[in-house]
Amino acid sequence: MAKEKKLSSKVVYEGRAFRIRMDTVQKSSGQSALRDVLERSDCIAVVAVDAEDNVLLERQFRTAAGKELLEIPAGGIDPGEDPETAVKREMREETGYFPQKVTRLGGFYASPGYSTEYLYLFLATDLTPSQLFAEDTDEIELVRVPVSKIRRLILSGEIDDAKSIAGLLMYLEKIKAPGS
């Protein structure tokens, strides 16, 4: 498969959470084209399961979507922080629980057509209460859902966030076929 060759790149916006650049590329046909690229740091996404076999989800209003979404915990990886440490920090900040066991489930690009963001997916278990104050988490409602009801929430559209759907389905496949 042929690759595009980047001819030039110009940052057109730089904000707190991301920056946008416009790349001029040469396609394999020789024609040039413009590509808008959203540069965002890598993130983590967590399927957190408690001792009663409930998945911890977060209900919060998302301005871009214009509504409340039911999501798995997720967040950015701080500079110099490894993904597993970010999982533990984000779990404490967003859920008030600290995972004693963190297992990598996989990972995926959030939206590779225009974004550099990669999400590392983890399973968090053996959860212990560990409240930590953090900014921007006061409007997160923690929702416990039995693992047995997750597939129905996805199929009904009640969970309609891509990272949550991908993460939860990967988890369900792993527990259905452990070791594969």
pLDDT in tens, 108-162: 999 999 999 999 999 999 999 987 666 666 789 999 999 999 999 999 999 999 9
Q: Return the bridge partners of 10, or none.
A: 22
Structure tokens at 125: 């278990």
Which pLDDT score is estimated for 132? 64
Query: Which CATH superfamily includes the segment(s) 43-176?
Result: Nucleoside Triphosphate Pyrophosphohydrolase (3.90.79.10)
Q: What is the pLDDT of residue 134?
A: 63
| pLDDT, averaged across the chain | 93
Residue span(s) of the chain under CATH 3.90.79.10 come to: 43-176
pTM for this model (two decimals): 0.91
Is the pLDDT assigned to residue 84 strictly greater than 80? yes
Structural tokens at position 15: 């904000």
